[in-house]
Structures are given as structure tokens and as C-alpha cells.
Amino acid sequence: MTDIRPPKYRILAVDDDPAILDLYKQILDSDAKKDDKTIEFDIDCCSQGKEAVEAVRLSLEFKQSYAVIFLDLKMPPGPDGEWTARQILKLDPHTNIVLVSGFIRSNPGMSVKQTDAPDKLLYLQKPFHRQEIFQFATALSAKWQAEAELRKLHLEMENLVGERTEELVTTNKRLRKEVETRRDTEKALHKSEANFSTMIYANADGILILDENAIVRFMNPAAETIFGTKAEHFVGQTFEHLISPEKPTELDITLGDGKTMVAEMRVMETEWSGQKAYIASLRDITHRKGMQQQLQLSLDHIKKVMDGTIHAMALAVEMRDPYTSGHQARVAELAQAIAEEIKMPPGDIEGVYMAAAIHDIGKISLPAEILSKPVQLTDIERKMIQAHATVGYEILKGIDFSRPIAQILLQHHERMDGSGYPQGLGGKEILLEARIVGVSDVVETMASHRPYRPSIGLDKALEEIFSGRDKLYDEQVVNACLKLFNEKDFAFTEPQHALTPHL
């Protein structure tokens, strides 16, 4: 049988007390091997802050980053843990730091809100239990690994979008140049009657002169090439295609060998032998039509790749949390219906649906055991879960969506009275799309079973948003939601994973 080695994560313990450092080694080395064979730790120890900063610098230089750092707050005579944490996060913003202290001040100098990465800094009070250290190391190491994989996926997405964008820009430049060339040619035709005849004969576009009755009176060499016939066989014949001076038209022309081509025709009024006539300018655009089709295929492919990537993100969260399987899809279903009920523009409705379909993507950074924990969460676990809105924003903020998807994810737990998180926004500071996703999330969550409680029921869920209307939840959104359920027989369907909204 193949020996599958468990993953090994690097841990750094920093404390001026040698006994504490020995205890870290016992917990994360001896106890880990004894109690849990699915994970292993490689432990380094430092007694002072500057020594720890140097250890982190060397770990990055040799590409052996630390997943978790346990850092004592007081380490005389050197710098304290808060200074050390700031220096470490400047070097490695992806590591997770647990500040350990014999006491927690009521107003610490370095709070979670003051850091650029609030999900990277946690506090633990001494004396701690051995199991606390082991659980912190295990959960934060798994979080560190998941975030590393997400950064890699994000980079691959950016590279793919960049390549496709460059292709589109190049194609657009070619088309623009062709249009500009055609415009210049048309201006030159009107510039001088003295050069009219010469320009017609030399023009690369096919030129026809038609009288008032659409009889062909002149045909230049380029037109002979386009129609595949000599002028003597064409002049005097009735032009069978519609003449429209108002706008360009496209002609499908069958050549003598049975092949077809597409020509763009522009018609202007003129005079010929003192009589009213029409000059028709024709250009073979068969190649350009092919380029336009390729451009559309490229655009469709980019959208498909983007939808598929978001689909994969949504499934990644639900596969790690079987109790909320289909939750995001049902929230998206209700959010889209609310957006339609309040008559948002189609593009905004699509944005609401897409954001709702991945609103919990930030939970991918959480340990699976917390997501499916069958009892009430601890304060630390609750804070870790609340950080999922910020994590989701960080994952998506670099992607150039046509709608503010990342901001919607960041704000979907904000409340009208400012009591939500993570920014404490209120009222119209919160995007309307985020208010819609927030109400939909509350209703679906309360109406569904969870590991730590049975379903409260749809009626109770609707009572909750009604009682919190205008205080916690947007009044317009709540009214639309209640109308859907009470008057329009809205009901959640079975979980759907398709990301295309039903517009």
C-alpha cells in the first residue's frame, strides 16, 4: 500500500520563557504525532522579536514560509509582540499570527481593525490549554494552505483574462483602422470633381453608378472583381439589390464558381450626365465578417470561463460544508426575484444573481470542522466565520467584473442601523445589491436546517425580516420579498448550480 505522508506546516513560536517554548514543542511535535496523523508541524523557536523577524525574512528567502506564528506580547528586554507582529506582516502578509499574553488590555495598541489583514491576527490569553494551541495550529495551517491555493487560482484567472483582453484590443484596433480607412476614402470621393473619374477607376472598392431606375450605368474594375463579371455584361442591367442611401447594407453575392462572399454597400446621391443618380461603393467584407465571428466566439469563451470559474468557487464552498449545500444557489434565486420585483435594470439583476451565487466564497478559507460544527461556536470561531466577507472581497477585488461583485460580497452582512460587519456601514452607504443579498441570505438561512439547529421555518424567517424592516433590513427589499412569498407564490426550488440568471 502506498504511504501517503500527511502535510507538514512550518510553525514559529516566539517567547522569552524557555519553558513556554519547550511546551510549544511538546504540543506541536510530540502531541501532534500522537493525536493526529493527518498533519505534521515543523517548529522553530525564538526568544526575542528581532530574532523572529529575521527568521521570517530567511523563511521567505528560502521559500519555506511559516503558516502560523505564536507570538508573546511581552518579551523584555527587546521589542514587544505588537511591534514584532507589524514587522512580520510587512514581510509576509499571508502568515497567521496568534498574539499570546498573560493579560488582554481593554484598549490594545494593535487591534484587529487597525491591521491591513484583520483575518491574520488573533489573540490568545495565558495560561492556555494544550488543545487550544493544537487547534489554532491545525485550523490556521489549513486556512493558510487554502488561501495559497486561492491566490494561485486568482493569478491564473488574471493571466487568462489578460491574454483574452489583449486579443480583443488587437482585433478592435484592426477594425477601427479599417473603418477609418473607409471614411477617408469616402471623403476623398467628394473632395474634387476634377479627380472623380481617376479616383473611381483606381479605387480598391467596387464602384457602381446607378440611374433613378436602378439601371447600372458604370462599373469600375474593382466592382468587376466583386461580381465576377465584366462591365459590358453588367452595364445596362437592372441592379437587383435594394438601394438605401440612409445606411450601409450588406449583400450576399454568389460568384460564378458557386462560392459566396459578403460585400458592404454604401450609397450616396450624385449626378451622372446631368441626371440624378446614385453612386454605390462596395467592399468585400467576407474576411471582416469572419473576424467579427471569431471576436464574438472569443467574448463568449471569456464569459464561459468566468462563469465556470465562479461556478467552481461556489461548489468548492458547498463541497466543504454539506449542511449548506445549495444555500448559495437558493439565495441567488431569491435575490434575483427580489431584484426583478423592484425593477432593477437587467445588467444589475445579473450582478445581484452572480454575487449571491458566490456570496459565501470567503468561507473556503475556514476549516471544515468549524463550518459543520454541530454545537454553538466559540467567540474566536465566530470571529473567524465573520471574516469570510472580507476574505471573499480579497479573493475577487482584482477581477474586473462589469458589476461591483467584490463590494457586494464585502457588504452583504452590513445592516441599515450600522450594526453589521465588517465595516459597520449603514443606510445608503450599503449597496442596494448587498441589501438584497443580505435579506435573501437571512430568509434562506433561517428556513433551512443547520448542524447546530433544526429549521426555524419560513414563516419565522419572514417575521424576522418584517420586524427588522428599516432598522436592520432595507424596507423596499423586505416589502418585495414578502410580496413574492405572500402574493406571488414564490418558493425555493431544488439546488441549482447554473450561474446564468433566468432573465
CA angle at residue 39 from 34 to 45, to 5 degrees? Answer: 85
Residues 6+ apart with CB under 8 A from 119: 365, 384, 387, 390, 391
Structural domains of the chain, with CATH: 8-147 (3.40.50.2300), 192-284 (3.30.450.20), 304-486 (1.10.3210.10)
How much is the pLDDT for 376? 75
Separation between Cα atoms, residue 453 and residue 420, nearest integer Å? 22
How much is the pLDDT for 149? 92
Separation between Cα atoms, residue 350 and residue 355, nearest integer Å? 9
How much is the pLDDT for 407? 95
Check if the beta carbon of residue 54 is closer than 8 Å to that of residue 22. no
| C-alpha pair distances (Å), 445 with each of 194, 342, 388, 433, 482 | 79, 22, 16, 18, 16
Check if the beta carbon of residue 339 is closer than 8 Å to that of residue 288. no
228 phi-psi bin (left φ>0, alpha ψ -120 to 50, beta other): left
Task: Please name which of 213, 226, 232 lies closest in space to residue 282, comparing C-alpha atoms.
Answer: 226
Q: Which helix (H) or strand (E) holds 294?
A: helix 286-320
The DSSP secondary structure of 204-226, one letter per residue, reads SSEEEEEETT-BEEEE-HHHHHH
Cα four-point dihedral sign 32, 37, 38, 40: positive
Check if the beta carbon of residue 248 is closer than 8 Å to that of residue 266. yes
Check if the beta carbon of residue 73 is closer than 8 Å to that of residue 81. yes
Q: Which three cell numbers, joined as nine digits, stand for 17?
A: 520563557
Separation between Cα atoms, residue 178 and residue 184, nearest integer Å? 10
DSSP 266: E
How much is the pLDDT for 105? 52
How much is the pLDDT for 260? 74
Q: What is the mean pLDDT of each run of 10 residues along the chain (503 residues)?
A: 70 94 88 62 95 96 95 93 95 95 59 54 88 92 92 90 83 80 64 59 73 78 73 74 72 67 76 76 73 71 67 69 74 94 93 91 77 72 84 87 90 94 94 95 86 77 91 94 92 57 41
How much is the pLDDT for 474? 94
How much is the pLDDT for 362? 86
Check if the beta carbon of residue 306 is closer than 8 Å to that of residue 412. no
